[in-house]
Structure 1
Amino acid sequence: MDQHVIVGKGAVGSTLAQELVARGHRVRVVSRSGGVDSAGIEHVAVDATDTEALTAAVSGADVLYNCASPQYWRWTTDWPPLSAALLDAAARTGAVLVTAGNLYGYGAHGAVMFEDTPMRATDAKGAVRARMWLDAAARTDLRTTEVRAADYLGPLADSQAMAGPRFVRPIVSGRTTRPVVAVDQPHSWTYLPDFARALVAAGATPQAWGRAWHVPTAEPLTFRELGARFAVAAGARPPRIRPVGNGVVRALGLVSPLMREIADVADHFTQPFVMDTTASERMLGITATPWEQAVKETL
């Protein structure tokens, strides 16, 4: 029974903890606030930017997972010290470092994204995520990999998720849903349990270390197509989707830091934003959950 340490207890970290416990592993979840131990999961309160404290929390672990989720508008300030501490803690303890990544580092360019697509993001959030991976890949004193997901959905998706409760609940109740991005371009969506399974597989596969992988993800759907699948599965009427205009989102960004950051990545939805997962399926030995099952379990 291996020891696994997860930094972060948001949607990704919590889904991963459940997956690891189901496999019979010991799990420690590190967060600022800690929590109540339950169902084989130990919670400890640690400031993960404190390298010494984090190293102590990781000591004895076989795998360390970076599932932290700084506030969206604080990525450029919060990620650098947090990432540096994670790299050092992994190097000092010998734990394999598996980072839960995303597609931001590639930038928006309309072409299908592969793991070897150059990371040329020009926005601040994409640039900081790209730098995190480049810094990790350059280290010769640790074993590391990154598993990149598209925008996620699933049973534990929170209010920050583009296809989370704020999108789904109005659809299943027959009300109008108002996403804050364009809704008619094909987009990859990662199912949270698939994300967790990919993180576990990457940490347990030495051949996967030293490079990044995409989470095996089902075929892309537009926002409208995704909404229609939820409506059919819920027995609701065809969804009424009224996107908020980009100008309105930018205006809201004058008073809301979250809306300001969403406006900066709106181009992820105004053109195809699709990733290929062929290589990762072969390396990690897992396939994406079919849409019918993912939608049903999410509902």
Structure 2
Amino acid sequence: MSLHVIVGGGATALTTARLLAADGEKVRVVHRRGGADEPGIERVALDATDSAALTRLADGADTVFNCAATSYHTWPQTIPPLFGAIRTAAERTGAGYVMLGNLYGYGPVEGPVTADTPQRATGPKGATRAAMWREAKQAHDAGRVRAAEVRAGQFLGAGAVSLFSLLVAAPVRAGRPALVPAELDHLHSFSAIGDVARTLVAVARDDRSWGRPWLAPTIPATMRELAIRFAALAGAPVPTLATMTDREVSLLGLTDPFWPELFETRFMDTGRFLVDAGETERAFGLTASGVEEVLREML
């Protein structure tokens, strides 16, 4: 029975753990708050920046999955030491190192994004994410670790944390207007939690995957389309949506540092920043889930 260590306590981390456990693998999920064990899944409370302690927990593991995250506005300060500690644990134990990434590192791109698209981030969060992959790739090229990254779009599905889940789903289900800091009729690339977890598992199991990034399958859709479909599934009225102005976002930022951070990723809101995950789908036999299936998970 193989052992896999997953660092992170979000929906993608737990879904990945459950996929592995369902296949008879032993899984250890590490998160600062711990949690209740499940069949085949051990939950451990640990600050993952403690690389020595994490190394002990990862001893004998086939794979270390990095699904960790920190407070959104602190990424440039908090992500590097955390990711460095997780990668160090993989290096010391000989485990494969699979990172859960996102699309921020690409920066403004015209046309479909592929895994080969250069990362040219223009903001601090994107630059941080890009730097974390560069460090992992350097460690891979130096023979210190086998590393790969799975890059996901905006999350959808049960437990997802995204603009849609936070600002659209709840008010739409309750029949209230939703005010969203995004263009409502431009296409966005959404990734279902389950699809991302399946990609992480597939990458960890395939020797062809190492030393490069992979794009998780995505669902191209507009915010308005998703809201209308979600309302119909929930038996709610046709939703009323509006886009927040920059001034409204800035005013919200006076009391919550999350809001101003959204300005960095406005390039994803043009309708032209879309993902082509065809290479991933062909390599691992994966496809994006149906949008209604994913939205139904959120009810």
1:74 aligned residue: 74
Q: TM-score, normalised by structure 2?
A: 0.94
**Residue identity matched to 2:102:** N
Cα distance in 2 for partners of 1:205, 1:30 equals 24
Aligned to 2:211: 210
148-157 vs 165-174, greater mean Cα deviation: 165-174
Q: What does residue 247 of structure 1 align with?
A: 247
Secondary structure (helix, strand or coil) at the match of 1:213 reads strand
> C-alpha distance in 1, partners of 2:123/2:132?
15
Q: What SS is found at the alignment partner of 2:134?
A: helix
Deviation at 1:165, TM superposition (A): 4.6
Match of 1:12 in 2: 12
| Displacement after TM superposition at 1:288 (Å) | 1.1
Between the two proteins, the alignment pairs up a number of residues equal to 296
Matches within 5 A, 1:31-50: 31-50=31-50
Partner of 1:185: 186
Matched residue, 1:269: 269
Greater mean alpha carbon deviation, residues 47-56 or residues 58-67: 47-56
The offset of 1:180, in angstroms, is 2.1
Residue 52 of structure 1 aligns to a residue in which SS? helix
Give the match for residue 99 of structure 1.
Answer: 99
CA contact (8 A) 1:87 1:97 kept: yes
SS class of match (2:221):
coil
Q: Which residue of 2 aligns with 1:142?
A: 145
Structure 1 CA distance for aligned equivalents of residues 183 and 296 of structure 2: 25
Q: TM-score, normalised by structure 1?
A: 0.94
Distance in 1 (CA, whole Å) between partners of 2:159 and 2:206 is 26
Deviation at 1:4, TM superposition (A): 0.9
Aligned equivalent of 2:287: 287
Q: Equivalents in 1 of 2:273, 2:163: separation in Å?
A: 14
What's the CA shift for 1:36? Answer: 2.5
For 1:138-188, what per-residue CA distance to the aligned partner results, in whole angstroms no more than 9, with x for missing partners? Answer: 112110100000010101224xx1121531122123221112222221100
User: In the aligned structure 1, how far is the partner of 2:236 from the partner of 2:252?
Assistant: 31
Q: Provide the rounded CA distance (Å) in 1 between the counterparts of 2:33 and 2:232.
A: 39
1:228 is displaced (CA, Å) by 1.4
Question: Equivalents in 1 of 2:84, 2:175: separation in Å?
Answer: 46
Letter in 2 for 1:144: A
Structure-2 residue corresponding to 1:114: 114
> Mean alpha-carbon deviation: is it higher for 201-210 or for 170-179?
170-179
Comparing 106-115 with 119-128, greater Cα deviation is found at: 106-115
Bigger CA drift: 34-43 or 95-104? Answer: 34-43
State the SS of the aligned residue for 2:73.
helix
Cα shift at 1:270: 3.6
Cα separation, 1, equivalents of 2:273 and 2:97: 27
- Counterpart CA distance in 1 for 2:59 and 2:254 is 44
* Ranges in structure 1 where 5+ consecutive residues have no aligned partner: none
Q: In 2, Cα distance between the equivalents of 1:178 and 1:184?
A: 14
- Give the alignment of 1:25-64 within 5 angstroms: 25-64=25-64
Answer yes or no: is the 8 Å Cα contact 1:184–1:223 preserved in 2: yes
Letter in 2 for 1:289: S
1:74-132 deviation digits (Å, cap 9, x = unpaired) = 10011111111122111111111100000000012332100000100110000000011
Cα distance change on mapping 1:261 and 1:18 into 2, 3 Å = same
- What 5-or-longer segments of structure 2 have no aligned partner? none
- C-alpha deviations, 1:197-243, integer Å up to 9, x for none? 0000000011011100001123x111111111112222322211122
**What amino acid maps onto 1:294 in structure 2?**
V
- Quick one: distance in 1 between partners of 2:25 and 2:218? 25
Residues in 2 aligned to 1:295 and 1:258: alpha-carbon distance in whole angstroms: 25
Cα distance in structure 2, aligned partners of 1:36 and 1:292 = 30
How far residue 271 of structure 1 moved from its aligned partner, in angstroms, is 4.0
Note if 1:21 corresponds to 2:21: yes
Distance 1:116 1:136 in 2: 16
Letter in 1 for 2:7: V
* Preserved contact between residue 7 and residue 67 of structure 2 (Cα < 8 Å): yes
Secondary structure (helix, strand or coil) at the match of 1:188 reads: strand
User: In the aligned structure 2, how far is the partner of 1:127 from the partner of 1:68?
Assistant: 17
For the residues of structure 2 that align with 1:289 and 1:64, how far apart are their CA atoms?
26
Q: Is the 8 A contact 2:107 2:267 kept in 1?
A: no
* Inter-partner Cα distance in structure 1 for 2:250 and 2:266: 10
> SS at 2:77's partner residue?
helix
